[in-house]
């Protein structure tokens, strides 16, 4: 075990007196504009944090480049989330927080998904494994489908949850169903629904399933809903 100060280079210091707008942008933003041109919608700096708005169709390429290019090396995906604004006209934003551990940089990448169309965007699962659960949570809470995610199941809510996507603004704070309806559904639940189809396919559990569930599994369904 070794002890010591953190990564090489000049020691960073606590940021002080950050202005609302007008702090210098992260140099990666300019590099992105040169490399990807029209795919980079705009660049903003808010409270010293650089936000890059990327066209939804090229997010995967942009982030792949940010990770692999030796001058960028954004190797750490901190967070994947989404924002829905109170104004129903404003599109939903998917937000990625990236860190470059070697260069100590922080970058926020955003992509806007227009409402009224299916909310779909490419998954980053093949670039960062940390995207696995974070994207599942984003799907669970906002209903954004991540194309290419191998296991896009609900994660915090149970798989037979029927009320929709809780963090959407049209979802009421107390939920859509009354307490009695929620209780009725919970009691009526099929005990096997507590296992995913993937789990039920292990060993004997599969053979003991009802025929109807086995049929659905054989057709490629994943969950026991």
Partner 1 sequence: MARRTVEVELSTTGLDAQGRPQRVPILTDDGGGGLALQAPPGLEPDLEGEHMLINLGPQHPATHGVLRLVLELDGETVVRCIPHIGYLHCGFEKMGEYRQYNQIICWTDREDYLNSIGNNVAFALGAERLFGIEITERCKVLRVIASELSRIMSHLVWLGTFCIDIGAFTPFLWAFQRREEIYRLLEKWIGARLTTSATRVGGMAADIPSGWMDGLRQFIRTFPHTLDEIDRVLTKNAIWVGRTVGLGVMTPEEAINWGLSGPMLRASGVDYDVRKDFPYLDYETYDFEVPVGTNGDVYDRYLVRFEELRQSVRILQQAADRLPDGPVNIDDPRIILPPKSKATSEMESMIHHFKVVMEGPRPPIGESYFAVESPKGEKGYYMVSDGTAKPVRWRIRPPSFVNLAAISKMVEGHLLSDVIAINASIDIVMGEIDR
Residue 152 within binding range of partner 1, rule CB under 8 A: no
Residues 6+ apart with CB under 8 A from 113: 56, 91, 92, 93, 94, 119, 120, 121, 144
Residue 13 within binding range of partner 1, rule CB under 8 A: yes
Residue 204 within binding range of partner 1, rule CB under 8 A: yes
Residue 177 within binding range of partner 1, rule CB under 8 A: no
Stated as kind and residue range, the H or E segment containing 135 is helix 131-142
Cα(108)–Cα(99) distance, integer angstroms: 9
Residue 104 within binding range of partner 1, rule CB under 8 A: yes
Residue 191 within binding range of partner 1, rule CB under 8 A: no
Tokens 């057709």 correspond to 219
Q: Which of 26, 28, 72, 81 binds partner 1 (CB under 8 A)?
A: 81
Residue 160 within binding range of partner 1, rule CB under 8 A: no
> What are the angstrom distances between the C-alpha of 95 and each of 33, 56, 74, 135, 148?
18, 11, 15, 11, 18
Residue 114 within binding range of partner 1, rule CB under 8 A: no
Closest CA to 32 of 24, 23, 22, 41: 41
- Which C-beta is closer to partner 1: that of 122 or that of 137? 137
Q: Apex CA 119: angle with CA 109 and CA 59, to 5°?
A: 30
Q: Is 22 exposed, middle or buried (0-12, 13-18, 19+ CB in 10 A)?
A: exposed
> What are the angstrom distances between the C-alpha of 111 and each of 60, 172, 188?
11, 25, 40
- Which C-beta is closer to partner 1: that of 8 or that of 218? 8
- Which C-beta is closer to partner 1: that of 57 or that of 201? 201
Residue 156 within binding range of partner 1, rule CB under 8 A: yes
Pattern 41-80, partner 1, x by CB under 8 A: -----xx-x-x-----------------------xxxxx-
Residues at the contact surface with partner 1, assessed by CB under 8 A: 1-7, 11-14, 16-20, 46-47, 49, 51, 75-79, 81, 83-87, 95, 97, 101, 104, 106, 108, 128-130, 132-134, 137, 141, 154-158, 166-167, 171, 173, 195-196, 198-199, 202-205
């Amino acid at each position: 075990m070794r002890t010591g100060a953190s990564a090489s280079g000049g020691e960073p210091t606590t940021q002080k007196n950050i202005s609302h707008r007008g702090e210098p942008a992260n140099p990666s933003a300019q590099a992105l504009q040169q490399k990807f041109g029209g795919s980079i919608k705009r660049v903003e700096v808010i409270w010293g944090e650089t936000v890059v708005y990327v066209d939804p169709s090229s997010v995967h390429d942009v982030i792949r480049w940010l990770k692999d290019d030796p001058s960028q090396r954004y190797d750490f995906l901190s967070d994947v989330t989404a924002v829905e604004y109170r104004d129903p006209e404003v599109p939903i934003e998917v937000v990625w927080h990236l860190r470059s551990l070697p260069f100590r940089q922080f970058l926020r990448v955003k992509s806007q998904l227009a409402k009224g169309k299916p909310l779909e965007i490419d998954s980053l699962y093949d670039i960062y494994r940390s995207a696995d659960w974070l994207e599942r949570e984003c799907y669970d809470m906002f209903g954004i489908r991540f194309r290419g995610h191998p296991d896009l199941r609900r994660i915090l809510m149970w798989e037979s949850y029927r009320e929709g996507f809780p963090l959407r603004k049209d979802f009421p704070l107390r939920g859509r169903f009354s307490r009695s309806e929620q209780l009725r559904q919970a009691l009526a639940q099929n005990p096997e629904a507590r296992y995913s189809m993937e789990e039920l396919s292990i060993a004997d559990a599969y053979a003991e399933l009802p025929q109807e569930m086995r049929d659905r599994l054989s057709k490629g369904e994943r969950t026991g809903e």
